[in-house]
Structure 1
Amino acid sequence: MNKSASESIEKSVKSSLNHLKSTSPYLILGVSGGPDSMALLYTLFKLNVNVFVIHINYSIRGESSNLDQELVEGMSAEWGFECCSVKLDSKKAKGNFQNWAREERYRIFRELKEELQADTILTAHHQDDQIETILQRLFRGSGPQTWKGLSLWDGELLRPLLTITKKEVLKYCEEEAIPFRIDESNLESKYARNFLRNEFSESMDEFFPGWKENILGLREKGRLTEAAVNHIYKEVLKNSELNLQRFSELSEELKTSILKTYIEDQVSGMKLSKGLILELLKVESLQAGTSVAINDQYSLMRGRGMISIHNSEESGILEVSLSKEKVEEGFSVNNLAFNILETREQGLVLSLDSDKLNWPLTLRGWKNGDRFQPFGMDGSQKISDHLTNKKIPSVKKEKALILSGADSTIYAIIFPQEGRTKEIGSISETAKCTDTTMNFFTIKLK
């Protein structure tokens, strides 16, 4: 390898490291023992960059896996790097082994990052990996905004070799006498990425010279599409909900992209298939107050003029019985304090006439169809409509609680408290306090 080619790898790595503003003495580098990660480790050694090396032994190739581990640990010690290895039991893998291995690998990386209080995880992805990633997304029908491929730097992961080809990496290892191991399972084409690498790419090189540059050119189209989708998404998003009227004006293609962006933005770690997104688009035609399931925990709810995400694990639903004796002693639940006082308390508090209440009371989550008579009104109103009138976002409505009597009369609604500073909730006309009230049932925040 001529000097300029060698310098190109070291220059690329050095340039990539300029993205870092490290406040930690540690950078973490995952090293498998293959040519890519060993080349990166050696380059960091030459550049005198301190990293903590982590090796994952999946125990899938018997003695070969152990030899990989020995190489990584031995060369890390020789080049002056701290190193640790984690051995996993591949028999615990469920479904696709490659997916399981990747999830386990990054879980371990992130746990180590937190333990060491490191800023960044380095990986040895190169340009051929970039091309394979874009191809897989194309073949799976992913939208244009995914064509941007892997990022050099995404705030947590840094990929210093992303502009370097596999051929350059191998030549660098040869000329610099960098030891590495070959994972023989990568020579099998039973996994999609291996097929692209071992068979598809070779045939494409023969029939379509320069095709790799054309695939890489799709990244710019992907970035432009992503920017356009994000711009529209910000226009449609309001208070963590999608404006239904604005959403309905979009083309079907844009609706798909906006809905996917919305869910993945609001729910950390959520990834959605194209088929599921098409199913979720039905939310637009649902009746207000109904929903369509995203998974066991999350659902997409159609509100009045809005689309929102509902988290069943954070709905705030509970049911607590309140006896008069219990409240007179002072009772607290769900960050709420209940009491009966002889004088009316001022401030951020709900006050009811205790003698007008049909004891025992029940504190519970509201249900569709629940109604009450708001203070100052002659007729009744649905709880859902009252929450809308009070400008409670649909995504938070499910956390509202109601206080009802033994005869099921609803005496009060207690609003979700996130971000609210002016009122705890609303009381019923039937339980309001007057000049003749002697005992004040109070609800306030703890």
Structure 2
Amino acid sequence: MEKTAVDDIIDSFRRSVGAYFEEEALFVLGVSGGPDSMALLYLFHILDLNVLVVHINYNKRGEASDKDQDLVEQMAFQWGFECCSIQLDSSTADIGNFQNWAREERYHFFKGLRDAHKAAAIVTAHHQDDQIETILQKVLRGSSPTAWQGMSSWDGNIFRPLLNFSKEEILHFCEVNAIPYRIDESNLQSSFARNFLRKEFSEQMDRFFPGWQQNILELQQQGGWFQQSIEWITAQISEDFVLDVHAFSELPQQLKPAILKHLLDDFNGDTSCSKAQLQELSKIEDLQTGKSLVVGNAEFIRDRDRVILQKKKEDKAWKQPITRQHLEDKYTVGGVNIRLTKGIKSRTGLYIDAEALDWPLQIRHWKHGDRFIPFGMKGSQKISDHLTNRKIASNLKEKTLVLCGSDSTIYAIIYPGPVSESAKGAISELAKCDENTTTYLTIKPTK
């Protein structure tokens, strides 16, 4: 590898920063201590940019985790950067889903620090090998061609300046510039999907299909062409989020979910939708006038020969804080009755300890990213995972409610309709009743 390859990384980084950001911009940079993020930290150092370095210590590898943190803190100090190290307890992670938990936790802190410091961007050290793995996983999981575009260098939130460089090139960059780094040995284990792709899968693909990585990267272009085609078709059959039903009905059935997903993304930002939800939405042409379908806070309403996409209107009662005074008599909101009682009269509802709650309360629809601590567990769980585990049908998930305290803690999940004869919802470990409970908050569906 020639010396010019090292210069290419520096020049590319300089151009990317100049193209997207103001000269005095502040960045929140996640640094694990591995070669990729340490190379990125060095690039910020030699360009003398404003950076808040953030290191997440998951305490999963004992002394090795502490050595990672020490290295990041020492080099940040040596290169003149402020460093924030955050200690997490990996024992609270969802069983068998550590990587997803770790990703959610670190981005939660990255976003909080970005907002608190009014930073221009979160910066990560994703590189070309990561891009290949991302696209390949999208293909293997059956994602639409739009998703084949993979990660972008700058998406308005996360800045990834190393995407055009391979792991090998970054390691060489570290070697030439004497950049210290550590290796996380857990990345050598194949128990996670990405690690399997990096090792066994990649080695066999290199053997049987030389050059396969470049072919995967070229899917980005095909994904971009597909995206442009969907945008063009959508523009022909809709205007200002009003969809021509007749024109939509004439589209091939396979295109309809992609059109609706594009409309939702354009209307509401990047929208998380399951395949089942999109298939359900594809039936909007069969809706009667005045009827609607809801996804998150977006509502598709049929109006004769058109469908209008608009923000879902919520009853003012949803925003009304629920106080103890409200519950002296039966109080109804969102299709459920709630009240305070001194005992358990039947098993037809949910019962939680009223004294364990942070009043006033709120009942709302769950949101992606919501978590709670299930009864009998120590760690938290995503509500989306809980609903999947309980086999709540996709078309009912969006109707699921949560009971929250004034501090946003979720105390209960309220299932929509007759999920089963016995299951009306789920209670948080934080609000369970025991022998000391004197006042019960009862939640029952309206009849």
Whether TM exceeds 0.5 here: the answer is yes
SS at match of 2:254: helix
SS at match of 1:18: helix
Task: Tell me the residue number matched to 2:88.
Answer: 88
Task: Tell me the residue number matched to 1:21.
Answer: 21
Task: Tell me the residue number matched to 2:137.
Answer: 136
**Does the aligned pair in 2 maintain the 1:142–1:274 contact within 8 Å?**
no
Alignment of 1:235-274 (within 5 A): 235-274=236-275
Partners of 2:171 and 2:275 in 1: CA distance: 37
Q: Which amino acid aligns with 2:30?
A: G
| CA displacement, residues 72-96 of structure 1 (integer Å, 9 cap, x when unaligned) | 1111001111111122232333363
Partners of 1:23 and 1:258 in 2: CA distance: 39
Partners of 1:19 and 1:215 in 2: CA distance: 27
Partners of 1:183 and 1:289 in 2: CA distance: 57
Shift of 1:170: 1.4
Task: Tell me the residue number matched to 1:283.
Answer: 284
Shift of 1:311: 5.7
**Does the aligned pair in 1 maintain the 2:26–2:49 contact within 8 Å?**
no
SS at match of 2:55: strand
Question: Is residue 155 of structure 1 aligned with residue 156 of structure 2?
Answer: yes
| CA displacement, residues 171-226 of structure 1 (integer Å, 9 cap, x when unaligned) | 22223221112122211222221111111111111111111111111111111111
Partners of 1:20 and 1:310 in 2: CA distance: 32
Question: Is residue 184 of structure 1 aligned with residue 185 of structure 2?
Answer: yes
Q: Which amino acid aligns with 1:172?
A: F
Partners of 2:158 and 2:289 in 1: CA distance: 42
Q: Which amino acid aligns with 2:188?
A: L
- CA distance 1:73–1:196, shift in 2 (3 Å): same
| CA displacement, residues 302-343 of structure 1 (integer Å, 9 cap, x when unaligned) | 44333345766634579xxxxxxxxxxxxxxxxxxxxxxxxx
- CA distance 1:104–1:24, shift in 2 (3 Å): farther
Partners of 1:301 and 1:190 in 2: CA distance: 45
Task: Tell me the residue number matched to 1:203.
Answer: 204
Quick check: 85-94 or 162-171, which moved more? 85-94
Q: Which amino acid aligns with 2:280?
A: E
Task: Tell me the residue number matched to 1:58.
Answer: 58
Quick check: 270-279 or 251-260, which moved more? 270-279
Alignment of 1:36-435 (within 5 A): 36-94=36-94, 96-292=97-293, 294=295, 300-308=300-308, 314-316=314-316
Shift of 1:108: 1.6
**Does the aligned pair in 1 maintain the 2:190–2:196 contact within 8 Å?**
yes
**Does the aligned pair in 1 maintain the 2:28–2:123 contact within 8 Å?**
yes
Q: Which amino acid aligns with 1:4?
A: T
**Does the aligned pair in 1 maintain the 2:24–2:50 contact within 8 Å?**
no
**Does the aligned pair in 1 maintain the 2:132–2:213 contact within 8 Å?**
yes
| CA displacement, residues 404-427 of structure 1 (integer Å, 9 cap, x when unaligned) | xxxxxxxxxxxxxxxxxxxxxxxx
SS at match of 1:27: strand
- CA distance 1:260–1:86, shift in 2 (3 Å): same
Shift of 1:163: 0.6
Partners of 1:51 and 1:39 in 2: CA distance: 14
| CA displacement, residues 330-371 of structure 1 (integer Å, 9 cap, x when unaligned) | xxxxxxxxxxxxxxxxxxxxxxxxxxxxxxxxxxxxxxxxxx
| CA displacement, residues 42-72 of structure 1 (integer Å, 9 cap, x when unaligned) | 1222232332211112222232222211111
Q: Which amino acid aligns with 2:242?
A: E
Equivalenced residue count is: 318
Quick check: 110-119 or 89-98, which moved more? 89-98
Partners of 1:222 and 1:129 in 2: CA distance: 17
Gaps of 5+ in 1: 319-446
SS at match of 2:84: strand
| CA displacement, residues 240-268 of structure 1 (integer Å, 9 cap, x when unaligned) | 33332222122212211111112233334
Q: Which amino acid aligns with 2:182?
A: R
What TM-score, normalized by structure 2, do the two folds share?
Answer: 0.66
Partners of 2:89 and 2:233 in 1: CA distance: 46
Task: Tell me the residue number matched to 2:6.
Answer: 6
Partners of 2:215 and 2:154 in 1: CA distance: 22
SS at match of 2:50: coil
- CA distance 1:316–1:248, shift in 2 (3 Å): farther
What TM-score, normalized by structure 1, do the two folds share?
Answer: 0.66
Partners of 1:238 and 1:2 in 2: CA distance: 53
Partners of 1:59 and 1:302 in 2: CA distance: 53
- CA distance 1:218–1:54, shift in 2 (3 Å): same
RMSD: 2.4
Partners of 1:90 and 1:303 in 2: CA distance: 51
Partners of 2:198 and 2:233 in 1: CA distance: 37
- CA distance 1:61–1:265, shift in 2 (3 Å): farther
Q: Which amino acid aligns with 1:127?
A: Q
Partners of 1:308 and 1:109 in 2: CA distance: 37
Shift of 1:286: 3.0
**Does the aligned pair in 1 maintain the 2:257–2:281 contact within 8 Å?**
no
Partners of 1:315 and 1:303 in 2: CA distance: 21
Q: Which amino acid aligns with 1:13?
A: F
Q: Which amino acid aligns with 2:14?
A: K
Partners of 1:203 and 1:281 in 2: CA distance: 40
Partners of 1:178 and 1:298 in 2: CA distance: 49
| CA displacement, residues 388-436 of structure 1 (integer Å, 9 cap, x when unaligned) | xxxxxxxxxxxxxxxxxxxxxxxxxxxxxxxxxxxxxxxxxxxxxxxxx
- CA distance 1:184–1:2, shift in 2 (3 Å): same
| CA displacement, residues 87-133 of structure 1 (integer Å, 9 cap, x when unaligned) | 22323333632222222222221211111111122211100011111
Gaps of 5+ in 2: 319-447
**Does the aligned pair in 1 maintain the 2:27–2:52 contact within 8 Å?**
yes
SS at match of 2:10: helix
**Does the aligned pair in 2 maintain the 1:73–1:83 contact within 8 Å?**
yes
**Does the aligned pair in 1 maintain the 2:71–2:181 contact within 8 Å?**
yes
